[in-house]
Amino acid sequence: MVVIDGHGGYVPLYRVDRSEVAAQHGGRGRGESAVPARDENHVTMACEAADNALARAGVAGEDLGAVVTASVSDPFAEHGIAAHVASRFGATGDVRTTDLRGSRRAATDALAAAREFVAANDAPALVVGVDVLPADPDSDDVAEAGAGAGAIVLHRDADQPAAELVGVAQETTGFVEHHRRHGEAAETGDAKFEGRHGVGEAAPAATERALDGATPTKAVAAAPSDRLSGAALGGVDAEQVSTRDQVGDAGAAAALLDLAHLLETAVTGETALVVAYGAGGAGAVALETTDGVGTADAKSVATYLDASEETTYAKHLEYREPVDYEGVKTP
């Protein structure tokens, strides 16, 4: 049985009030969105979340057999995140590194790939989701453009695992409505149409196969909007654990960040569900919490959510712009 041996997250300190953003566009806003500082990027945030997950698991980086990352906003066409995270923790040499992108379901795809690796190789694997969503002032998504990272350590066995992975499933449909060109704001399309024919058809099918008759008490869902996240759990009577009100849309990171938060607050013996929906379909992961669930010595997601400093809409936009240092642009 493959288990979750460690979990962790990272949320930038700065937050922008969505009502301030909405006021600039004549609308309304609720909650806040995380804003990465100038010295934060995909790799630094991924490493922070990974450090917390590895610490909670008590796993040394050099003992990892694989590092799998998921992102929908990696700024590089050729660069990757996984190898840099692996190197940061001393996981070099014969270590498998994989970068998944293109859809929020990259998070559940990453969990599925890591689970298969661990089952076949009996070596721990690190899964990290990280994103900094672009904040385009002309986009409907500008207020919710968030940032963050979530990390999970999988192992075949552990002394006190947080949970056992009991089911993994996908529903691939090829349906695409919400989409985004590299480095640009998303084109959202018809939300009602996507809710009915996109997430409404893909998520329930993946969920049913992953749960295999079990009834979850807690769930997380990652999707391009709050409405679609709710639709992804349509028919599932479970408490939804979400950081969206404090973080905003964290892309592929949302599923893993929320899962880490769920595992901090759950109790032993609960069935939990992770659903990620995006272009092309949905993925679902079912798990059973065990004795190692709950907070530990490692820094918790709740700690990051509580530690916040308000910033302005102008900084929300500015901090996402690349900086040119003597001819070398930051990502």
* Model pLDDT, residue 228: 81
Is residue 328 in some structural domain? no
pLDDT in tens, 76-101: 878 889 999 999 999 999 999 999 99
Q: For strands 32-35 and 14-17, give the pairing.
A: antiparallel
What domain count does the chain have?
1
pTM above 0.85, yes or no: yes
pLDDT class of 178 with cuts at 50, 70, 90: low
Q: Domain for residue 326, yes or no?
A: no
Taking the C-alpha atoms of residue 183 and residue 225, their distance in angstroms, rounded to an integer, is 19
Q: How far is CA 26 from CA 228, 245, 260, in A?
A: 23, 20, 36
Q: Are 112 and 168 in contact (CB under 8 A)?
A: yes
Q: Find out whether 46 and 160 touch, Cβ atoms under 8 Å.
A: no
- Across the chain, the runs of DSSP E, i.e. the strands, are 3-10, 14-17, 32-35, 66-71, 96-101, 125-132, 147-155, 163-172, 179-180, 186-187, 218-222, 239-240, 271-278, 281-289, 309-311, 324-325, 328-329
pLDDT in tens, 36-91: 998 999 999 999 999 999 999 999 999 999 999 999 998 887 888 999 999 999 99
Per the domain annotation, does 327 fall within a domain? no
pLDDT of residue 282: 92
Query: Mean per-residue pLDDT for 237-246?
Result: 95
pLDDT at 200: 77
Predicted local confidence at residue 248, as pLDDT: 94
Q: Does the pLDDT value for residue 205 go beyond 60?
A: yes
pLDDT of residue 166: 97
Burial tier of 261 (Cβ tally within 10 Å: 0-12, 13-18, 19+): buried
Query: Is residue 50 assigned to a domain?
Result: yes
Q: Look at residues 128, 118, 127 and name the one whose alpha carbon lies nearest to residue 155.
A: 118
Specify if 329 maps to a domain: no
Say if 66 falls within a structural domain: yes
Rounded to an integer, the average pLDDT of 302-318 is 90
Asked whether residue 40 is assigned to any structural domain, the reply reads yes
pLDDT value of position 193: 56
Q: Answer yes or no: is pLDDT of 180 > 70.
A: no
pLDDT at 195: 59
Residue 325 has pLDDT above 60, yes or no: no
Share the mean pLDDT of the chain: 89
> Residue holding tokens 């969105």?
33
- Are the C-beta atoms of residues 194 and 205 closer than 8 Å to each other? no
CA dihedral 105, 109, 112, 117 (to 10 degrees): -160
Rg (CA), the chain: 18
Contact 68, 98 (CB under 8 A): yes
pLDDT at 33: 93
Cα–Cα distance for residue pair 202/215, rounded to 1 Å: 19
What does the pLDDT read at residue 226? 82
Q: What is the pLDDT of residue 127?
A: 99
Q: What is the pLDDT of residue 22?
A: 80
The range of the structural domain enclosing residue 239 comes to: 3-321
Looking at mean pLDDT, say which of 101-110, 173-182, 225-234 comes out highest.
Answer: 101-110
* Residue 197 resides in a domain: yes
CATH number at residue 272: 3.40.47.10
* Assigned token pair, 147: 């940032």
Answer yes or no: is pLDDT of 182 > 80: no
- Mean of the pLDDT values across residues 191-213? 80
| Bridge partners (DSSP) listed for residue 324 | 329
More confident residue, 155 or 327: 155
Structure confidence at residue 327 (pLDDT): 53
pLDDT of residue 116: 97
* Nearest-5° Cα angle at 254, 144 to 191: 55
